[in-house]
A = this chain, B = another copy of it.
Amino acid sequence: MKNDHAGTVTMKPIGVLRTAAAVIPRHWSVSRTPGTVVIDGEYAAGLNGIKAGQKIVVLFWFHRSPEFSLSNLRQTPPHRQERVGVFSICSPLRPNPIGLSVLTVRAIHQDKIEVEGIDMLDGTPILDIKPYITEKENRSDDPGEGA
């Protein structure tokens, strides 16, 4: 990711999501669908420390979303009646279309993570993987600097 010029940043995906699932659930919170995060070989060493059974946060690019326009600042989510602000919902149509899924690690190989709980399409570019941290407490397993 580079600061190319005033106010913009350029990112390069670190890998891709693969799944054979024909139907993709609308959200990870209601998904048990399996898939595989395939990391570009040069980044494989970055997976060290991720273990089967844990949850991870996967940030990805909503690469199929149409270009965002200001008319999309308020949207009506499925099963709701009112238009609400894009930053209060999980719509893939957003100013910076970064998706966030919390996935369960089923197995890990050199450059692949078998996961459960996907809500991404096959071919989705992966931008980052982070540990899943929920508790507001002093932790013995230090999350490291920053966020």
Contacts and interface: CB of A to CB of B under 8 A. Distances in A.
Contacts of A29: 133, 135-137, 139, 143
A14 B46 contact: no
A74 B48 contact: yes
24 contacts: A1-B61, A1-B68, A1-B97, A9-B13, A10-B10, A11-B11, A12-B96, A26-B145, A29-B133, A45-B70, A46-B95, A48-B84, A49-B89, A60-B147, A75-B144, A90-B133, A91-B145, A92-B147, A95-B128, A98-B128, A99-B146, A119-B146, A120-B147, A134-B134
Interface of A: 1-4, 7-14, 26-30, 39, 42-43, 45-50, 56-57, 59-63, 67-68, 70, 73-75, 77-80, 83-92, 94-102, 117, 119-120, 125, 127-131, 133-139, 142-147
